[in-house]
Amino acid sequence: MIKAMLVTSIILISIAILIAVLRIVLGPSLPDRVLALDVIGVNIIASIAVISVLMNTRAFLEAILILGILSFIGTIAYSKYILRGVVVERKRNR
């Protein structure tokens, strides 16, 4: 019973990732694509958690943490690029 539920949730998460990929390809503006990338990151983290429950192991928890960190930094970098045009500034107050 619980296994069928977990497999169903993985399938649904995969469909969500596919829809987000569609948004990246079709997306009219740059913020749409950035938001879709963030959605993909969150969905990948959720699917890793479901898989680690399914396989009854704790080996993937560090992968979840690393993916969370990288997704966070990537979203910040894209947002800063949209907002200011540069990613790493030499001097602020402009």
Partner 1 sequence: MKINDVILQTITKVVVFIILTFGVELFFAGHNSPGGGFIGGLVLSSAFVLLFLVHDIETVQQGIPVDFKKVAATGVLFAVGTGVFAVLFGSAFLTQTFLTVNLPVYGETELATVLLFELGVALTVVGTVVTIILSISEDV
Residue 44 makes contact with partner 1 by CB under 8 A: no
Query: Measured from the CB atom, is 29 or 93 closer to partner 1?
Result: 93
For the CB of residue 88, give the shortest distance to partner 1 in the complex, in Å. 4
- Let me know: does 13 contact 50? Beta carbons within 8 Å: yes
What is the C-alpha separation between 28 and 73, in angstroms, rounded? 24
Residue 59 makes contact with partner 1 by CB under 8 A: yes
CA angle 8, 5, 44 (to 5 degrees): 55
**Tokens encoding 39:** 């959605």
Question: What distances in angstroms separate CA 81 from CA 4, 31, 37, 66, 77, one per listed residue?
Answer: 42, 11, 15, 23, 6
Query: Measured from the CB atom, is 17 or 78 closer to partner 1?
Result: 78
Q: Which stretch binds partner 1 (CB under 8 A): 7-15, 38-46, 48-56, 64-72?
A: 64-72
Q: Which residues contact partner 1 by CB under 8 A?
A: 59, 62-63, 65-66, 69-70, 72-73, 76-77, 80, 83-84, 86-94
